[in-house]
């Protein structure tokens, strides 16, 4: 899937693992979780089990049809797998996946990403994010909210599906008033982000040092970091993305 950078009007970004370095954040959060478990051993194991079940339920739902509300279905599956009530799962997820990471996020944002976002905004590009989870608080915590025109999550009523189902990316483009052939999607997971872009007919670049091989069949291209993406998007002589 090619896009001519001279015609590019819109960029949509994934959030987790794309706008911040997920590995270091997970290690920092693990230390917090271990500390909490030492302070309260009785609930520590249950917390780990709930979080693991919640993540596994999300992966299970990626390729499954959803009956009813996605967020409710996600909670139910995690509750069934963990053996904890839906109320306990909801409280645990709200604390450890939504609130606790907020104070850590900004330190894991690459300076090169901030430069790219500022330059894209300066050139008049419209930008949005598409996340599997509500992202407004994360963007504010990273001091990035000002760059994005729309914030779309899988739980939005107009979406109600996890990636790689294309409904979220299609909705983001609709809100941005963008045509797929004038847009770019930036993510970190070829199997999810590359796949959702392909399903929506949008060019995709995967950013990350671990993905060094371009996937011709997957339709996405790879750069190791945001300096590399910047040089592609804003060259002195614009050329089509690979």
Q: Where are the domains of the chain?
A: 10-20+109-233, 23-104
Residues 203-223 have pLDDT tens digits of 999 998 664 445 545 678 999
Ranges of the chain with pLDDT below 50: 211-213, 216, 238
Minimal CA–CA distance to 132: which of 190, 70, 186?
70
Residues 79-105 have pLDDT tens digits of 999 999 999 999 999 999 999 999 999
Q: What is the 3 state secondary structure string of 179-227?
A: CHHHEEEEECCHHHHHHHHHHHCCEEEEECCCCCCCECCCCEEEECCHH
CATH number given to 10-20+109-233: 3.40.50.1000
């Amino acid at each position: 899937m090619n896009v001519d950078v001279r015609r590019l009007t819109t960029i949509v970004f994934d959030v987790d693992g794309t706008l911040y370095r997920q590995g270091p954040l997970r290690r920092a959060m693990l230390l917090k979780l271990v500390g909490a478990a030492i302070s309260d051993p009785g609930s520590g194991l249950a917390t780990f089990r709930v979080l693991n079940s919640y993540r596994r339920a999300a992966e299970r739902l990626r390729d499954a049809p959803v009956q009813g509300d996605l967020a409710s279905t996600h909670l139910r599956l995690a509750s069934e797998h963990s053996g904890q009530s839906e109320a306990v799962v909801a409280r645990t997820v709200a604390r450890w996946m939504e609130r606790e990471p907020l104070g850590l996020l900004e330190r894991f944002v690459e300076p090169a990403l901030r430069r790219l976002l500022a330059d894209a905004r300066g050139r008049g590009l419209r930008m949005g994010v598409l996340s599997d989870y509500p992202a407004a608080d994360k963007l504010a915590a990273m001091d990035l909210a000002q760059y994005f025109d729309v914030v779309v999550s899988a739980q939005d009523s107009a979406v109600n599906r996890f990636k790689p189902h294309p409904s979220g990316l299609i909705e983001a483009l609709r809100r941005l008033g963008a045509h797929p052939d004038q847009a770019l999607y930036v993510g970190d997971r070829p199997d999810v982000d590359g796949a959702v872009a392909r399903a929506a007919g949008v060019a995709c670049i995967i950013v990350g040092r671990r993905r060094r091989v371009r996937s011709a069949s997957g339709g996405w291209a790879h750069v190791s970091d945001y300096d590399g993406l910047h040089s592609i998007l804003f060259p002195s002589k614009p050329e089509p993305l690979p």
